[in-house]
Amino acid sequence: MQTAAKGPDMNAPHQNPPTLSDSVVDWLTNGTRDERFIDNIFAQMCIRLQQAGIPLKRSTMHVRIQHPQWLGAGFMWSDGMREAKITRVDFDVIERSEFIGSPINEMMDGATELREKLEGDPSLGRKHALYDEMRAKGLTDYVVWPLHHTLGKRHFVTFATDRPGGFEDAHIAALKNVLPVLALVSEIRIKNRLARTLLETYVGSHAGELILAGATRRGTGTTVRAAIMICDLRDFTKISDNWPRDDVIDLLNDYFDAMSEPIARHGGEILKFIGDGLLAIFPLSQPDACANLLHAVSEARQAMAALNERNKSSARAPLNYGIGVHVGDVMYGNIGSSSRLDFTVIGPAVNMASRLEALTKQLGRNVLLSRDFAEQVQPKFELERVGEYEVRGFSDPIELFAF
């Protein structure tokens, strides 16, 4: 009895032809779960591509990020490097010559692939300083592809070689084989970094770490002993009523820069901006927290004086401010409604700092400190006793000091 010869099974899964990078794809898929940072993964991927037989000499990855200061970031690896070099990209880069006409410019304009053979006559190729730099380094072939993330987001990856004749077809196929998995792996890390960046931007680094660690239940928190600083801009209502909107925003940003950067530099954490005011704490778990707060105040004063000098040249009135400082126990955690929470501090110590800030107007002092705080820093700092004053919400008069 004869049996008919079997034809191909049309229901069998399609098998992609093997490429030089199959082992790298397997590593990206299964071997990077415990690696947190995409720049480390990217550098290791490039090294593994070399080991797989692809003559890779240089590679870069370009990602757009959501950050208050930066448009994006770039990772650059070249032969011999164990780690990728990271560069941050300013928002105004698209107006500069380094971007205009560059490969990434072409890709952002919609190109799906860019390949430039660098061994030929330079006058016949694309014109940009980057191509001249690559030729000067002996590179012979350069290719750029998009990395497709969800919801239409595109980032970019480049590969270059110094092999005579450039990449072979097998090399190009192997590099293309890596792209889908690299896109998935990079998107996960970029979104993790984005979540961290957004939390650091909007609630502060320490609170952000707690939230990422799972501290998201309403009513949860800890008692923290801290120095509390509340700052407020004077006459802001008059400024906002009489100045153009954009000028008011610029003024607020300049004022908050002057106040905030010294706070962060000396270990304080800004928990919130409230209109034209801010609330910051210096946990006493840090050595010299109270002294650090006063160092921050001193530097903020200098920054405000410099800002007022700059504003004088544009005929703007000087900005004045008041700062109230106290020390005590605060509840640090999640407060809010069932669907909208705020990670903040509450308690009588916060209320006291707020009342002292309000008293700076009445007493004509920029900075008022409670006796409890003053005892933490004397005699290291020269303080002036102002007297005892009634403070709204507190039964006994409070002894105040000026700094």
72-106: pLDDT as tens digits: 888 999 999 999 998 888 777 888 888 888 888 99
Statement: residue 111 has pLDDT above 60: yes
User: CB–CB of 367/400 below 8 Å?
Assistant: no
**Cβ neighbours of residue 153 under 8 Å, at least 6 residues apart?**
64
Q: What is the CATH number of domain 215-402?
A: 3.30.70.1230
Alpha carbon distance 80, 71 (integer Å): 29
290-348: pLDDT as tens digits: 999 999 999 999 999 999 988 887 777 788 999 999 999 998 877 778 777 777 888 89
What is the pLDDT at residue 123?
A: 84
Decide: helix, strand or coil at residue 77: strand
Residue-range domain boundaries for the chain: 22-202, 215-402
User: CB–CB of 47/78 below 8 Å?
Assistant: no
230-263: pLDDT as tens digits: 999 988 777 777 788 888 888 888 999 999 999 9
Options 3.40.50.460, 3.30.450.40, 3.40.1620.10, 3.20.20.80; which CATH number does 22-202 get?
3.30.450.40
**Of residues 123 and 342, which shows the higher confidence score?**
123
Helices (runs of H) and strands (runs of E) counted in the chain = 11, 14
- The amino acid occupying position 177 is N
164-182: pLDDT as tens digits: 999 999 999 999 999 999 9
What is the pLDDT at residue 3?
A: 41
pLDDT confidence tier of residue 375, bands split at 50, 70 and 90: very high
Sign of the Cα pseudo-torsion (122, 124, 129, 133, in order): negative
What is the pLDDT at residue 224?
A: 87
Decide: helix, strand or coil at residue 164: coil
Going across the sheet that includes 114-117, the strands are 85-89, 72-78, 58-64, 154-161, 141-148, 114-117
What is the pLDDT at residue 185?
A: 95
Mean pLDDT of the chain: 87
What is the pLDDT at residue 198?
A: 66
